[in-house]
Structure 1
């Protein structure tokens, strides 16, 4: 069910932001999922600082992505309207979650009166009193699970486009796939 739609790859900057964000999110998730297993003390403190630093970098990459999309919008595809709408909704959800998740983590620390130190010692003080105490920690966990679900859907959609529709969409972020057929003709 291949389509003959020409798909222009995204630029190198958009790809770098995309894959940089993916690497940061994966790293923050791995550290965040394991940091409570460290014994209290220096190792756990370091893991927490790494997790906070990765979260702040995710937030920075989200801002960079918004800025970049403003000056260099992604190429338009010729996909059906419902697919473009679904893709836009997914990208907005991913962007919103990459902003909300690190902010909820920061708000969690600040609302409980705890320090946030990132990037090897840079303190991030609360910009104002943050109400809510543990509510932010619960929100952070829910948002992390929502982000994982959104990423899973995003990956599934990319694989569906590549293996089922064979429309070249995945080649936008993986240009070396451009022009490669994944199935022999007629299959």
Structure 2
């Protein structure tokens, strides 16, 4: 398997970043939904710091993923894919990138504007504040963070649904190209 993307498949770097970011976002979403219910114990603050640290990690990984995509390109569309589907897929991918930037940044902005003491990334590196404490900015960034998460969920469901549609209904290689080599490599219409 190639590290770099080929005309027909995503390379191992793209696949690894895709699935690692997806897994981290899933974990962040679960923790984010549950952490408001935690009692205010030392574990509560540990969970919040872990949530923030993993969010910043996702931001860094998304920067790396976007840089890699610009460097390595993307596979060409599966032959036979209608032009409108290619345009919708491209718009969806770019919207996912925007959301993967906006959600961690809005969380970091919320942390900064709320006036909390600076948090340390995984307890090691003190993260700088993006803005001075400001109640209005804190409320706005918190709303963007929360509603951005729900929008991301909708876009991810559409993205995954489209991949499954291509795999089950169209029987093409759209989904298989992003899976590890050998997964679901069943009778599909192969790309040329």
Scaled by the length of structure 1, the TM-score of the pair is 0.88
Q: 1:26 to 1:177 in 2, by over 3 A?
A: same
Match of 1:176 among 174, 179, 182: 182
- Aligned: 1:126 with 2:129: yes
Would you say the 8 A contact 2:166–2:173 is kept in 1?
yes
Tell whether the 8 Å contact from 1:108 to 1:137 is kept in structure 2 after alignment. Answer: yes
Secondary structure of the corresponding residue to residue 109 of structure 2: helix
Q: Distance in 1 between matches of 2:147 and 2:162?
A: 22
Q: Of the candidates 120, 125, 133, which is equivalent to residue 117 of structure 1? A: 120
Shift of 1:34: 1.2
What CA distance in whole angstroms lies between the structure 2 residues aligned with 1:130 and 1:98?
24
* CA distance in structure 2 between the aligned counterparts of 1:151 and 1:140, rounded to whole angstroms: 16
Partner of 2:101: 99
8 Å CA contact retained: 1:106, 1:116: no
Q: Are 1:70 and 2:70 matched, yes or no?
A: yes
Is 1:138 the equivalent of 2:143?
yes
1:41-70 Cα deviation digits (max 9, x unpaired): 211101101100110011011101111011
Instruction: Please report the TM-score for the alignment, with normalisation by the length of structure 2.
Output: 0.86
| Alignment length (residue pairs) | 176
Q: Which has the higher contact order (CA 8 A, sep 6+)?
A: 1
Query: Quick check: 112-121 or 8-17, which moved more?
Result: 112-121
Task: After the TM superposition, list the runs of 4 or more consecutive aligned residues in structure 1 that deviate by more than 4 angstroms.
Answer: none
Structure 2 partner of 1:12: 12
Let me know the Cα RMSD of the aligned residues: 1.7
Unaligned runs of 5+ in 2: 1-6
| Counterpart Cα distance in 1 of 2:133 and 2:166 | 43
Instruction: Describe how 1:20-59 pairs up with structure 2 within 5 A.
Output: 20-59=20-59
CA deviation after TM superposition for structure 1 residue 133, in Å: 2.3
